[in-house]
Amino acid sequence: MTTIEKIQSLQKLNSGLYKKDFLLTWEKTEKDLRIILEVAAILKEMRAQGISPRVFDSGLAISNFRDNSTRTRFSFASASNMLGLAVQDLDEEKSQIAHGETVRETANMISFMSDFIGIRDDMFLGEGNKYMREVGEALDEGFAQGVLPVRPGIVNLQCDIDHPTQAMADLMHLQNEFGSLENLKGKKIVMSWAYSPSYGKPLSVPQGIIGLMSRFGMNIELAYPEGYGLIPDVVELAKKQAKQSGGSLNVSHSMEDAMKDADIVYPKSWAPYHIMQQRTELLKNADKAGLKELEQVCLANNAKYKNWEYDDAKMKTTKNGDALYMHCLPADISGVSCKEGEVNGDVFEKYRIKTYLEAGYKPYIIAAMMFTNRFEKPGDVLKSILDRNRIRVGF
């Protein structure tokens, strides 16, 4: 389909995304997820054609990262700039938050001329998504009371439960690799724990993957060593969704068995649910000695499972010996970024460029989340952008 044909098809759909924050993929309907993918694809095509999709003449997109980031931070900045918004980082150490400023006050003070707030808060189990909703409630009050001329939309850039921008970028990657969302039905995807020489990696990536891919009829193999489980409620939700979509979700404790005949593999380390619970309490109490002790215990336990590395032998057991390898990056690459890690260096190198392509969808997914939040009829606005045909300077 041409760009105009995609826009015309989009114009026929009613979006439920207008003025709604994007906090969890499973809070959105399948139709709305498809709309975001379509808007992202159209924005990507416009960019490739040199058409400027800037719809904001001024305004801020607030970047609030409470944990480190490379890909998502720059993807949010790229998406905001593409739509015409300036990006302002909220550095909590340089703000009055360090002096006890409340969430409701901060949310309003940063939002006088803001259109979006992107938040990453994945360190504290049970707190990250909760914090985003608290910010949302404060913005609702500020807008209702006339403090804010516009209620900024919130985009979850990773929390303790889900990583929706990553999962949606991954889905867009799969859509393009396999030709359509419909072609994903019946495909086997392995979301597997993998060994890492570090501890404390969030649960939100594997939970985001099973929480989203279970919506599209895929057969999910969730593999991890005994004791490395995810949040039980998320796993149960994914099982329910898989059944409803005609797919399945099976839990395995053997990486070798899980990889057999897989179409897609996603070997990624994470910390066990019960460990993240302990870690959260220690972080809240600023117990540095306790955190150090927990780290040593966890690293020693991780070391028992160094064989949970995606290597050539496991790759050969996948479908045609060439399952699509995926990773949110950065991967722990054996012999490259670490001595022993999640994936063998030669295997990673084979799929390295595809992981870059996978990551490259994220700016457009974030832009689509912002676009559909602000415009009730995104298809009509995209049509006006196409008709305007403003060429990017320097293209």
DSSP 283-337: HHTT-HHHHHHHHHHHHHHHGGGTT--B-HHHHHTSGGG-PEE--SS---EETTT
Confidence label for 96 from pLDDT (cuts 50, 70 and 90): low
CA–CA gap between residue 108 and residue 129 (Å, rounded): 19
Most confident of 271-275, 284-288, 355-359: 355-359
Confidence label for 284 from pLDDT (cuts 50, 70 and 90): confident
The mean pLDDT of 28-34, rounded to a whole number, is 98
Q: Domains of the chain: which residue ranges? A: 3-162+362-388, 164-359
pLDDT score of 158 more than 80: yes
- Note whether 226 and 249 are within 8 A (CB): no
Q: Please write down the long-range contacts of 383-386, taking CB distance under 8 Å and 24 or more positions apart.
A: 383/4, 383/7, 383/8, 383/11, 385/46, 385/51, 385/52, 385/53, 385/55, 386/3, 386/4, 386/7, 386/46, 386/51
Say whether 164-359 and 3-162+362-388 share the same fold.
yes
pLDDT score recorded for residue 49: 95
Token pair, residue 370, equals: 């912002």
Please state which of the four CATH numbers 3.60.70.12, 3.30.450.20, 3.40.50.20, 3.40.50.1370 is assigned to the domain occupying 164-359: 3.40.50.1370
CA–CA gap between residue 237 and residue 366 (Å, rounded): 24
Residue pLDDT, tens place only, 7-28: 999 999 999 999 999 999 999 9
pLDDT score of 207 more than 90: yes
Share the mean pLDDT of the chain.
Answer: 95
What share of the chain in percent tops pLDDT 70? Answer: 98
Q: Which residue has the higher pLDDT, 285 or 169?
A: 169
**Number of neighbours of residue 324 by Cβ within 10 angstroms:** 20
CA–CA gap between residue 104 and residue 102 (Å, rounded): 6
Superfamily of domain 3-162+362-388: Aspartate/ornithine carbamoyltransferase (3.40.50.1370)
